[in-house]
Structure 1
Amino acid sequence: MSKTTVSASNAPVTAASHSDAIGHGNSPAAWTCVIVMLVGALVSSIAFVIASTPIFIAGIVVMVAGLIAGWAMRKAGYGVDGSKLKNAGH
């Protein structure tokens, strides 16, 4: 095994830097999608423990609704770099 070390100057250069936004989900659409889906997962988890199939399916429906809500909000301009989120200079 070699005992050579890699210095920062020899590190590979990547095309994107940390300041380049690649869509990490910091948008109202992403937050809404995740929160609604978490609620659906919580409902489904509780229903699984108490063995209630209708409530379990309702939780799955809530999760699908979260996906649809996030997609619709992104299309409406509330996604990353969306038209509704442009800074108006304030």
Structure 2
Amino acid sequence: MSKDTVSAPKPAAGTAAFSYDNVDHREPTGHGNSPAAWTTVFVMLLGALIMSIAFVIANTPIFIAGGVVMVVGLLVGFGMRKAGYGVGGSKLKNSGH
């Protein structure tokens, strides 16, 4: 086994330390904290729960229904984002009141 130390690769000459793989890490990425994101996660978790229970009781129609609930969760989240309830959406901006 080698006794060489392992270290992270050094940035190329002339590049800033905050940039790695052409990603600017100074900007916050956000974490999807919006009504659209939370609704999507909740509905998809519900679908996963339905699918898990159906798997345990070996019921194919209920398993498929759980998959449908998960797809509906994606569509609901997409629709809410387009309606302005996503991150930075028009419905979430503070109007100063």
Q: With structure 2 as the length reference, what TM-score do the two structures score? A: 0.75
**Aligned equivalents of 2:84 and 2:49: distance in 1?**
28
| Shift of residue 21, structure 1, vs aligned partner | 3.8
2:12 is aligned to: none
| Shift of residue 13, structure 1, vs aligned partner | 2.0
Structure 2 residue 85 is the aligned partner of structure 1 residue 78: yes
Task: Describe the superposition over 1:43-65 as per-residue Cα deviations: whole angstroms up to 9, x where unpaired.
Answer: 00000000000100010000000
Give the percent of matched residue pairs that are identical in Structure 1 and Structure 2.
69
Aligned residues: 80
One-letter code aligned to 2:94: N
| Shift of residue 23, structure 1, vs aligned partner | 3.9
Q: Deviating runs (4+, > 4 A) in structure 1?
A: none
Give the unaligned 5+ runs of structure 1.
3-10
1:8 is aligned to: none
Q: With structure 1 as the length reference, what TM-score do the two structures score? A: 0.80
One-letter code aligned to 2:39: T
Mapping of residues 9-88 of structure 1, within 5 Å = 12-14=17-19, 15-17=24-26, 20-88=27-95
**Aligned equivalents of 2:69 and 2:30: distance in 1?**
24
Flag the structure with more relative contact order, 1 or 2, with Cα contacts below 8 A and sequence separation at least 6. 1
Give the unaligned 5+ runs of structure 2.
6-15
**Aligned equivalents of 2:84 and 2:30: distance in 1?**
14
The structure where helix makes up a greater share of residues is: 1
The structure where strand makes up a greater share of residues is: 2
The two structures, once aligned, show a CA RMSD in angstroms of 1.7
